[in-house]
Structure 1
Amino acid sequence: MDSLPAVSHTALAPAGGLRGVLEASAASRHDASAVLVVVVDTEGSTYVRPGGVALFTDGGQVGWLSGGCLEPEIARRAMLAAAQRRIEWLDIDTRDDEDLFSGSAVGCRGRLRLALLSLSELPGWHEPIAAWRMSAHGLDLHIASDGSVSCRVDDATWRWTLPAAPQEHADAQAQWRVTWPSPPSVLVFGAGPETPVLVPWLRRLGWITTLVERRERWREAAACADTVVELAPQAAIPATARFDAALVMHHNFELDREALSALASTAIEYIGLLGPARRREDLFRVLSDAEQASLQSRLRSPVGLDLGGQGAEAIALSIVAQLHSHRNKR
Structure 2
Amino acid sequence: MKEIEDIIRAYKASRQSGKKVALATVVHVEGSSYRRPGARMLVTEDGEMTGAISGGCLEGDALRRALLAIIQQQNKLVTYDTTDEDDAKIGVQLGCNGIVHILFEPIDPDAPHNAIRLLEQVLEKREDAVLVTLFRLNQAAQQPGTCLRYSGNTFSGSLEDGELKTTIMNDVLEVFSTRQGIVKQYGEEKPALHGFVELLKPPVSLIIAGAGNDAMPLVEIARIQGWHTTVVDGRPLYATPARFPGAGRVIVSKAKEVLDKVTIDERTVFVLMTHNYNYDLALLELLLQKEVTYIGTLGPKTKLERMLDELAAKGITVSEEDRARIHGPVGLDIGAETAEEIALSVTAEIKSVLSERTGIPLRDKSGPIHTL
Give the shorter-chain TM-score range. 0.7 to 0.9
Per-residue displacement from partner, 1:76-96 (whole Å, max 9, x unpaired)? 111222333332221111222
Q: Greater CA deviation, 80-89 or 316-325?
A: 80-89
Shift of 1:298: 1.2
Match of 2:368 in 1: none
Match of 2:284 in 1: 260
**Change beyond 3 A, Cα 1:240–1:194:** closer
Match of 2:301 in 1: 277
Structure 2 residue 321 is the aligned partner of structure 1 residue 297: no
Report the secondary structure of 1:216's partner residue.
Answer: coil
Q: Distance in 2 between matches of 1:286 and 1:140?
A: 47
Q: Distance in 2 between matches of 1:148 and 1:246?
A: 35
Report the secondary structure of 2:237's partner residue.
Answer: helix
Per-residue displacement from partner, 1:214-238 (whole Å, max 9, x unpaired)? 4223223333212223333444335
Q: Check whether the contact 2:223–2:246 (CA below 8 A) recurs between aligned residues.
A: no
Match of 1:231 among 253, 257, 275: 253
Structure 2 residue 3 is the aligned partner of structure 1 residue 21: yes
Q: Normalised by the size of structure 2, how large is the TM-score? A: 0.72
One-letter amino acid of the counterpart of residue 264, structure 2: A
Report the secondary structure of 2:337's partner residue.
Answer: coil
Q: Check whether the contact 2:204–2:268 (CA below 8 A) recurs between aligned residues.
A: yes
Q: Distance in 2 between matches of 1:51 and 1:71?
A: 15
Shift of 1:70: 0.7
**Change beyond 3 A, Cα 1:39–1:148:** closer
Q: Distance in 2 between matches of 1:278 and 1:91?
A: 55
Give the number of aligned pairs: 302
Unaligned runs of 5+ in 2: 136-142, 160-189, 358-372
User: RMSD of the TM alignment (CA)?
Assistant: 2.7
Match of 1:173 in 2: 193
Q: Distance in 2 between matches of 1:130 and 1:194?
A: 36
Match of 1:106 in 2: 94
Match of 2:156 among 146, 158, 174: 158
Match of 1:187 in 2: 207
Matches within 5 A, 1:59-138: 60-99=48-87, 104-121=92-109, 122-123=111-112, 125-126=116-117, 128-132=119-123, 134-138=125-129
Match of 1:313 in 2: 340
**Change beyond 3 A, Cα 1:55–1:214:** farther
Structure scoring higher RCO (CA < 8 A, sep ≥ 6) equals 1
Q: Check whether the contact 2:118–2:149 (CA below 8 A) recurs between aligned residues.
A: no
**Change beyond 3 A, Cα 1:133–1:313:** farther
Q: Distance in 1 between matches of 2:100 and 2:230?
A: 36
**Change beyond 3 A, Cα 1:133–1:302:** farther
One-letter amino acid of the counterpart of residue 222, structure 1: F
Structure 2 residue 267 is the aligned partner of structure 1 residue 241: no
Q: Distance in 2 between matches of 1:309 and 1:241?
A: 29
Per-residue displacement from partner, 1:251-303 (whole Å, max 9, x unpaired)? 11122122212211110021100011122123234323326447423110000
One-letter amino acid of the counterpart of residue 149, structure 1: C
Shift of 1:304: 0.5
Q: Distance in 2 between matches of 1:185 and 1:226?
A: 10
Q: Check whether the contact 1:128–1:158 (CA below 8 A) recurs between aligned residues.
A: no
**Change beyond 3 A, Cα 1:133–1:276:** farther
**Change beyond 3 A, Cα 1:283–1:159:** same
One-letter amino acid of the counterpart of residue 40, structure 1: V
Sequence identity of aligned pairs in percent? 28
Q: Normalised by the size of structure 1, how large is the TM-score? A: 0.81
Per-residue displacement from partner, 1:99-118 (whole Å, max 9, x unpaired)? 49xx9421312111111122
